[in-house]
Amino acid sequence: MSTKILVAYYSSTGNVHQLAAAVAAGAESTGAEVRLRRAPELAPDEAVAANPAWKAHLEAVSDVPDVTPDDFVWSEGYALGTPTRYGLPAAQLKQVIDGLGPQWQNGDLANKAATSFVSASNAHGGNESTLIALNNVYSHWGAIIVPSGYTSANPYTAGGNPYGTGYASGGATDTPLPDEYVEAAKAQGARLAQVTRLIQPLREKP
Ligand SMILES: Cc1cc2nc3c(=O)[nH]c(=O)nc-3n(C[C@H](O)[C@H](O)[C@H](O)COP(=O)(O)O)c2cc1C
């Protein structure tokens, strides 16, 4: 049976969406079954409509299903992605996390491999703090945190971030990511799937 990986993310203007697609592709390259899911939009329609890039991106990804708690239960490993919001994860992703109380209580999130990816506008504008904030959540969930580390050549050419792939967008909206970031995110997804497979014995019920 193939390894089940959930890639759940929020993106307003497409940068994190592209990272999510690359993480998913990397996991799939190892033979994993992957669900790519997005956090539902919480912002009012007027706010989205006032930002053409935000509106265009939301329309472009209307075929990506919203993530549900059942996706987390189904998964054996998960990757969470978010833009930085003042150095923290976006409220849309946090709302998903906060909706997982029953699954946390039931142990459905524990002993699963977990990793994160992020985009901030500035290189030093909160990529790392956002990734580390998500590690706090993983600790509560009893997940096994899978950092990118320097386990492939990619982190060196993609900003040197060992916590997870972090793309400094410079405020770009829906422009293709540089190849090195796509490759770093793919390597991260592959590593997540590999670790997920290795820790399978942890998830076996006695
Ligand atoms: C409310 C708000 C807060 C933000 N806070 C930060 C920040 O603290 N540091 C930073 O570098 N970028 C910040 N940004 C910029 C986004 O994180 C950045 O543009 C990111 O690439 C967007 O990803 P997306 O295209 O997937 O939505 C902020 C944007 C918004 C709307």
What whole-number percentage of the chain has pLDDT above 90?
A: 92
Per-residue pLDDT, 113? 98
* C-beta of residue 97 within 8 angstroms of C-beta of residue 130: no
Per-residue pLDDT, 163? 96
Pocket of ligand 1 (CB under 6 A): 11-17, 83-87, 119-122, 125-126, 169, 171
CATH class for the region spanning 4-203: alpha beta
Per-residue pLDDT, 1? 74
pLDDT tens digits, residue range 62-73? 999 999 999 999
pLDDT tens digits, residue range 118-160? 999 999 999 999 999 999 999 999 999 999 999 876 777 888 8
* C-beta of residue 30 within 8 angstroms of C-beta of residue 193: yes
Q: Tell me, in angstroms, the distance from the centre of ligand 1 to residue 120's CA.
A: 5
Is residue 83 helix, strand or coil? strand
- Cα–Cα distance for residue pair 157/125, rounded to 1 Å: 19
**At how many degrees (to 10) do helices 179-198 and 15-28 cross?**
50
Is the model's pTM score more than 0.95? Answer: yes
Which residue, by CA, sits nearest to atom 3 of ligand 1? Answer: 85
* Stretch 170-177: mean pLDDT: 92
Check the CA dihedral 153-157-160-164 and report its sign.
negative
- Cα–Cα distance for residue pair 112/55, rounded to 1 Å: 34
Q: Is the pLDDT of residue 80 over 80?
A: yes
